[in-house]
A and B are shown apart, each in its own frame.
Chain A
């Protein structure tokens, strides 16, 4: 399984034809206490770079953009009851949604973990 990172602080796990998407530990740290996550409906077709989800912290709302294009096939229901999962386990239990991968070339230009880490260090 390969994990990619975007410069918008999302991570994408690729397993076969499905990608799991969440926000990084760095992102949750910047946002602070997360109180609500608005997820896309299953079946929604989202385009790379377009609004996919919204994260609400105590003080502000932040958009999560679709890191690739595809169709949403599953969302993380656990976030409804416990949005703070994004704070406590951002890169595992706090995943946002799973989507189909339209075109594998979409991963070109995304970062691996090492590249993402040095990207964050430079911020």
Chain B
């Protein structure tokens, strides 16, 4: 047999399979701080975004279900962690991001996009207002105050070098851009993530809700803990100096609820959660409106503009997009993968951008773009897989409800 690759996340799978490495260009595959740790835990490693990464440990379905029921620890150290600092950091970032950054309060996190001049999506990212609070000193007679404005960005691994170039090119020289490449990043995700983390470090996350971030010195480990993730579950992303990453991973995995999870399950979890994967569901060929990411365009900033691609994106918003990103529930058991064509009758009306088998729902699900007139939930379509037409219905995203901890 041929361990052919098809479907989204193809590069992720090269370890399950045997041959080529079409999705990455870097000739040298680098190792990340948790490399040896993964191998000790029995991971099957693959090259992804230029790094050796764990695709799976005990198996994708088992890991997927464990994360939905307990808590999974994911290594996402391939992602780019950037810090943008300076008095003008917020207003400079607002030239490149369509979201409100200046009004983002310290400790708050926002999902945003890097949009290019044509309105295409260069990357999607998380931005945190990481401005530090400087304690006052009674003896010196100083009062507590906010320090230099700082914004912590987490960008995709495969795009981070381009992002850094893009940011450096367009941000004012008075703004400092730091690539925090000596930091590892792990994500603890699942309904029991908070329980487990609370047992490891007490009272740190008690008051946190989804899309909030704190710094915490856990002994000598300076951590940044953000309540966010890419699975649809409650959970945390923890930035840790590379030298302490193994100890932190061990500490978290010592909790009965926590097991290491590979990239394979990360992809099936995010697909069920309806979250787009950069390079597949969103690219420079797609714009925020067609991608159904309008929530990342803050109302005030839509009106005022001043961000790259504003005019183009507003035109799509005004005219309505030709196509829209939708979920597809596929009948039967045969999955439809990235690239599968979508039909309404004889007419091709779209294309699948990610697809696979949902372990939670035990049936195939997909995401793709279809003509806007056919993007209505419940619309009957067909997806072509190996010359067969599979009945598919436009489905509400997420496929599996989010369970974020929003408090109250």
A residues lining the B interface (CB < 8 Å): 8-10, 23, 27, 30-33, 35-36, 38, 54-65, 83
Contact = CB atoms under 8 A, between A and B. Distances in A.
B357 A35 contact: yes
Contacts, number: 86
A30 B61 contact: no
Given A33-B61, A58-B357, 15 more contacts: A8-B2, A30-B16, A31-B3, A32-B56, A32-B59, A32-B61, A36-B333, A36-B334, A56-B335, A59-B60, A60-B5, A60-B7, A60-B17, A60-B337, A61-B335
Contacts of B356: 58-59
A63 B13 contact: no
A65 B335 CA distance: 20
A62 B7 contact: no
Interface residues of B, number: 31
Given A32-B59, A57-B16, A62-B17, A10 B9 contact: no
B357 A32 contact: no
B13 A30 contact: no
Interface in B249-271: 264, 267-268
A65 B13 CA distance: 20
Contact of A65 (B2, B337, B386): B2
Interface string B16-59: 11100000000000000000000000000000000000001001
B53 to A, nearest CB: 14
Interface in B45-81: 56, 59-61, 64
Given A32-B264, A36-B357, A38-B386, A61 B2 contact: no
B370 to A, nearest CB: 22
B1 A59 contact: no
B268 A59 contact: yes
Contacts of B305: none
B12 interface: yes
A59 B12 contact: yes
Nearest to B337: A61
B6 interface: yes
A30 B18 CA distance: 9
Contacts of A60: 4-7, 10, 13, 16-17, 337
A58 B5 contact: no
12 contacts: A30-B3, A30-B17, A31-B3, A58-B60, A60-B10, A60-B13, A61-B335, A61-B337, A62-B3, A63-B1, A63-B2, A83-B333
B16 A32 contact: yes
Nearest to A23: B1
Given A54-B386, A59-B16, A35 B333 contact: yes
Contacts of A57: 16, 60
A50 to B, nearest CB: 11
A59 B61 CA distance: 10
B149 interface: no
Contacts of B61: 32-33, 58
Contacts of B2: 8, 62-65
B335 A36 contact: yes
A33 B333 contact: no
A9 B61 CA distance: 23
A8 B1 contact: yes
A8 B18 CA distance: 11
A109 B144 CA distance: 80
B157 interface: no
A27 B1 contact: yes
